[in-house]
Copies of this chain bind each other. A is one copy, B any other.
């Protein structure tokens, strides 16, 4: 049987979690990994080694594939263009990816599409000018603070800083002067909570969204996902959903797109809650790990289906509530040591280990718990994750 080959660039846990979906669908997964010992490298049968920036390695990994996709957005544009000139199907394509790679481009595109965003401005690369622009932005802020971001290279709270003075980003201005990424400034949104909508889109146009979820953050990193977002009205969910689909279509995204949003009181019609778009990720995303157990079709299977331009699966929830708790760091030398304890005390928990060496704050695993009672589900997910953290 000639299994269709999908090449994935990047060997972290997102590529690893594509493995079960690929096995099931009969898809041959080839993952270009940074090292054989990466999270995906340990478990993928076809895992060539090379960097995402190494054009020759990426082109070789793409040979014979029916689609090339990514587990991160950090593939240089010339490499993507080389794949296109080799005739590869690149999903999402370079144009869409460029909007996720650069936050200034992203904000400009979303603003052009009429998508609700926080107030924002791109800072000049002339840092004297940039200091004036930032000072003006801070002067216009109700509490005198704002969020400065590097346009490229940030993730999980890195490259994002809340500032109340121009001097708070002196090091980043120096970075700009040294040829580093440009900066943008955004209002510090007085949000009620953070939401996320995951949408999948296939090249021929079909889109499917999963229920809107609440993303609970700790120190700028997602610690918990509650699906669906508690207390969200059907109207607000529909509007959030429409925003996500508009972005997927407007940016020409294929595969899974995660749209992280702020819920803001009074930002909707007639003073109802509304959403402002915070960040985008053009790939399976932490906010969608709950779908592995909590939805008919997981984000990982849907991503593979989408990049192959296959019909998308049902995204309905399989339980009234699913909570995903991240395991960020652990005091244990090895998470497998915690398996007897966590599986013994939480037979209802779905535990997923990423095969990564323990480091402080590192995403090492997650736990999904489903059920009828949100408080119980949430408590058990948190407790099970705590066991894996060695607490």
Contacts and interface: CB of A to CB of B under 8 A. Distances in A.
Interface of A: 1-4, 16-17, 19-20, 22-26, 28, 42-45, 47, 296-297, 305, 310-314, 318-319, 334-336, 339-340, 343-344, 347-348, 350-358, 365, 370
Contacts of A297: 347
Nearest to A3: B355
The prevalent SS among residues of A at the interface is loop
A296 B339 CA distance: 17
A24 B3 CA distance: 23
Task: Count the copies.
Answer: 2
20 contacts: A1-B335, A1-B353, A2-B336, A3-B42, A17-B23, A20-B24, A24-B350, A25-B352, A26-B336, A26-B354, A28-B42, A43-B45, A296-B348, A297-B347, A305-B343, A310-B343, A312-B347, A313-B343, A313-B347, A318-B318
Contacts of A357: 1
A77 to B, nearest CB: 31
Contacts of A310: 339-340, 343
Nearest to A347: B314
Nearest to A292: B24
Contacts of A336: 1-4, 26
Residue in A339, A348, A357 with the greatest tally of chain B CB atoms within 10 Å: A339
B313 A25 contact: no
A355 B311 contact: no
Q: Which 10 A-B pairs have the closest CB atoms?
A: A26-B353, A20-B20, A311-B344, A311-B343, A314-B347, A314-B348, A23-B43, A24-B352, A19-B23, A45-B45
Contacts of A1: 334-336, 353, 355-358
Nearest to A206: B344
Contacts of A351: 24-25
